[in-house]
Structure 1
């Protein structure tokens, strides 16, 4: 799912990003999207200064439900307004998976180094098994996150569709390439 990324990997993006171009005042566009959120019962969200967070309603949310942060601002040295979007899991889910990956990686690296040093000095070490076990755990966590990403895909597409339709009410919407 390579939204606007030319350098995407074959494994997909963890947090897809895309950008849109509109011909409207940023503040009016923010107000319009915020009002559209309150009118449409299929999405929920809130506004925080320069960001709008668009989410699925609480009764439809599950663990893997995505949220989309939307930033609308005038692009420097251009005459149009840019809508920059980032789609990803909720912040608590994102932080938990970052902690899981970091923990497994740290234990694997330090346990592996300890095991390799012990193996070089004594000729054997049970700690050497930390390396393949860590690789298996990292692979399992990655596969679980990809399954979760696929489970939240329909909701993600709905959030993106909602944003497109609410901005189209104000005028023409174009995708722009970002590197």
Structure 2
């Protein structure tokens, strides 16, 4: 395995690697390597593999690795990997962000309406200041969560490098 692969895994949460191997055989080799390790939990659904940290080390900010094996030709395949937060964490954060964005737009419309009608619009103006501050707080919380799961993310990256090294 060359250093460009290592750098791709370390610098980006996504990676793609082409293999001169049938997709079914590649999937079996990956499952075997993960089973032999026994440190991480694994779920397999069709050509998707989800690798999670062990239950005893798992916390809200724990990352996970999602691997998809795509068949390119009869004898070649591609591994697509994504390191990231669990879908529940991502969905919650996106839901909150969309809620804040929607509230911001609503309060902007109300503030503009009050201004054009020459009415007092103190509360909508206050909310137009508070909601961006809430976005900043959400960003800080996300950054703290990311740094909380960094050690586990590094372990997942090392584990992935070992698996892919054993396959080639």
- What range describes the TM-score normalised by the shorter chain of this pair? 0.7 to 0.9
1:111 aligns with 107
The reply on whether 1:152 has 2:149 as its aligned counterpart is: yes
* Consecutive aligned runs of 4 or more in structure 1 exceeding 6 Å deviation: none
Q: Is the 1:24–1:170 contact (alpha carbons within 8 Å) kept by the matching residues of 2?
A: no
Structure 2 residue matching 1:169: 3-state secondary structure: helix
Larger Rg over CA atoms: 2
Q: Is the 1:19–1:85 contact (alpha carbons within 8 Å) kept by the matching residues of 2?
A: yes
Give the 5 Å matches for 1:46-125: 46-75=43-72, 80-122=76-118, 124-125=120-121
Aligned length: 160
**41-50 or 155-164, which moves further after superposition?**
155-164
Q: Which has the higher contact order (CA 8 A, sep 6+)?
A: 1
Provide TM-score, normalisation by structure 1.
0.80
Q: Which runs of 5+ in 1 are unaligned?
A: 5-11, 172-179
Q: Distance in 1 between matches of 2:72 and 2:29?
A: 19
Residue 98 (structure 1) shift: 1.0
More helix by share: 2
